[in-house]
Amino acid sequence: MKKKIFITLLTAGSLLSSCQKQILDVDQLDVVNLEQYYSNLTDPKAESLIASVYKTAYGVTNNNWYNMMHGYTDDYVGGGGFATALNSSNHTSSSFYTTLYYLNYECNLIIENMSEDSAVKKQVMGEAYFWRAWAYYQLIRGWGTPPLADHVLGSGELSPANGTATELWGYVEQSLEQAYNRLPEKTALGEQRSIGGRVTKGSALALWGKAQVYQSKWGEAAATLKQIIDGGKYNLSPDFTQLYHMAADFSDEYMWEWNSDDNASASTFTNEGDDRGIRMQWNNSYVVVPGGIQERGGTNGEMGKEFYQFLVDRGEKGKPRQMGTVWSYEDVLQRFVDLGLASSLAEAPSAFWKSTAMMPTNEGYFRSKMLIWQEEVFDGWTWLDDMRTKNNWPGMRYADVLLLYAEACVNGGGSTADGLIALNKVRTRAGLSMLGSYTMQDVKDERRAEFSYEGERYNDLIRWGDASTVLGSGNKQTLSFYGYKSGTTNYDVTAVDNPNSTGFTVGKNELFPFPYDELVLNTNLKQNPGW
């Protein structure tokens, strides 16, 4: 369904005679001429090209990326274990580095060769500008100063040196401006489904504002993000527990999303039958609860008490965000009471062990965010590791826009009164009381609670300069899990020193290492400090 262009460059041999040239000088039917292809490009073919771009971008957001980003944070037991997890030759991020450059290449092919002679092609061009900006936004956050490929590189340009922060961020912002000028805009709330999962002007503004926050351009960021807020075309989903489930597909909270729905109207932009719902599965631990509550789904077997307690201390116990993010074993038992499968919490352990429920051997905390609900599983997929779900996957949420705006305002970029309104919208949806004033620490805490397990915490800690403090002792211990005794809430956990971990190292772990293969192929590329 997705079409890709394969271009073959042929060099004529000088040994052929004039007669031979006349015989052989014919078009090769199995080779696509680039100029000819784009000159005859129809609207459907243009959409097919950009569908391939979406597919490439979508591939970056697989479970390995989120495993990696969360394995380094304090939201997970043993987080910050950098010593053994990263190296330039085999760490997980290497494949993403290559994929992001390929994404940029696909976009530049379109930008450099396609004419905007129809409304469809204008939108496709805008999408190409957006996705190359997104590719470099990820590259900058991960590797700091990757080489800039702002066009399709020729044969003599294949060893570019490291870029500079100024030119790289400039490339991102300029691309987003070009995207914004071409992309359609939602007409009103509730109109995202008609657009499908494709990006819009609001998507471009959201990523643009986020890029400006990463540069500490507080005034510009606040102005960009306020444009989204004042536009009134996005809103928070009313029920936090429905995020990352089919109920939130095409919701007004998603600034853009990859469509995994079985809706035929999504056309070539569908990724039917994907496994978005079983992300971040370090092992095969899972909790199976009868009654349609996440009956099957992978869960991180190393959820820790510290993050759960962070939510409890904020007053979120039993409220939507806590229940939509992480459960304790007692929360699981409470579901049995809520479902009428037990008359009380005292009876619930016995009901649990007599049911079809299953319990992993872990510390007693289970990620509820992003797990699969039974009705979201495609027919024919039953095994835990092989499930395919109908859930869309959001690229960015409106909650992110609101909290980034609050951050920009509290840092002097805009009205703190307006920033407080934005912050309180997120708190209210979570079931918390509104604040009368706020500080940067309030923003930090709110982002941790709101975006846990969504790939934001690690980069937030780095850009705030908090990583060395928060992650400095990360992964100094590992845990041995002995699990629960049947019919009880008793479990035994032993902490064991991990001699191979040094935790977060200042001057090194702020960035990923450039892949070893890239350094060999490109001698002008300089490795990041400490690697």
Residue 457 to residue 70: CA distance in whole angstroms: 8
Residue 249 to residue 265: CA distance in whole angstroms: 14
pLDDT of residue 114: 96
Structure tokens at 503: 């935790």
Residue 26 to residue 10: CA distance in whole angstroms: 13
To the nearest 10 degrees (0 to 180), the angle between helices 457-464 and 440-451 is 160
pLDDT of residue 281: 41
Tens digit of pLDDT at every position of the chain (531 positions): 333 333 322 233 333 334 444 444 444 445 567 878 888 899 999 998 998 899 889 888 765 677 677 767 888 765 555 545 566 555 667 888 999 999 999 999 999 999 999 999 999 999 999 999 999 999 999 999 999 999 999 999 999 999 999 999 999 999 999 999 999 999 899 988 888 889 999 999 999 999 999 999 999 999 999 999 999 999 999 999 999 888 898 999 999 988 775 544 444 455 554 554 444 343 334 455 554 444 333 333 456 678 888 999 999 999 999 998 888 778 878 888 888 888 998 888 888 777 666 555 555 677 778 776 766 766 665 545 455 667 788 899 999 999 999 999 999 999 999 999 999 999 999 999 999 999 999 999 999 999 998 889 999 999 999 998 888 766 555 555 545 555 566 655 566 666 666 678 889 889 989 998 899 999 999 999 988
Residue 367 to residue 452: CA distance in whole angstroms: 10
- Within 13 Å of residue 505, how many CA atoms lie on the same side as its CB? 16
Position 114 in a domain: yes
Position 25 in a domain: yes
- Is residue 180 within 8 Å of 205, Cβ to Cβ? yes
- Is residue 208 within 8 Å of 225, Cβ to Cβ? no
Position 457 in a domain: no
Nearest to 255 by CA among 357, 404, 366, 380: 404
Position 228 in a domain: yes
Structure tokens at 105: 């290449």
Residue entry with tokens 């400006």: 212
Residue entry with tokens 């992480």: 326
Structure tokens at 340: 């009428």
Structure tokens at 351: 């009901």
Position 231 in a domain: yes
Q: Where are the alpha helices (DSSP H) in 61-118?
A: 63-71, 82-85, 93-113
pLDDT of residue 382: 54
Give kind and range of the element (H or E) at residue 335: helix 329-338
pLDDT of residue 95: 83
pLDDT of residue 115: 95
Position 370 in a domain: no
Q: Is 343 exposed, middle or buried (0-12, 13-18, 19+ CB in 10 A)?
A: exposed
Q: In this structure, what DSSP letter does residue 149 have?
A: -
- Is residue 479 within 8 Å of 495, Cβ to Cβ? yes
Residue entry with tokens 């990006």: 199
> What SS3 state is found at 492?
strand
The residue type of 514 is F
pLDDT of residue 505: 84
Residue 453 to residue 463: CA distance in whole angstroms: 18
Position 216 in a domain: yes
pLDDT of residue 36: 83
Collect contacts of 342-345 with beta carbons under 8 A, ≥24 apart: none
pLDDT of residue 286: 47
pLDDT of residue 196: 80
Per-residue b or e along 423-458, where b marks 16 or more CB atoms closer than 10 Å to that residue's CB? bbbbbebbbbeeeeebeeebbbebbbbbbbbbbbbb
Domain count, the chain: 1
Structure tokens at 174: 């300029």
Structure tokens at 37: 């292809």
Q: Is 29 exposed, middle or buried (0-12, 13-18, 19+ CB in 10 A)?
A: exposed
Q: Which residues, at least 6 apart from 441, have a Cβ–Cβ distance to it below 8 Å?
A: none
Evaluated on CA atoms 69, 64, 168, 177, the torsion sign reads negative
Q: Which residues, at least 6 apart from 222, have a Cβ–Cβ distance to it below 8 Å?
A: 405, 408, 409, 413, 414
Q: In this structure, what DSSP letter does residue 471 have?
A: S
Residue 310 to residue 448: CA distance in whole angstroms: 9
pLDDT of residue 64: 66
pLDDT of residue 261: 57
- Is residue 330 within 8 Å of 490, Cβ to Cβ? no
Q: In this structure, what DSSP letter does residue 1 have?
A: -
Which residue segment(s) compose the domain that 67 sits in? 18-271+511-521
Residue 131: CATH number of its domain: 1.25.40.390
Cα-only R_g, the chain: 25
> What SS3 state is found at 198?
coil
Position 499 in a domain: no
pLDDT of residue 292: 44
Q: Is 156 exposed, middle or buried (0-12, 13-18, 19+ CB in 10 A)?
A: exposed
Nearest to 187 by CA among 233, 149, 141, 244: 233
> What SS3 state is found at 420?
helix
pLDDT of residue 503: 74
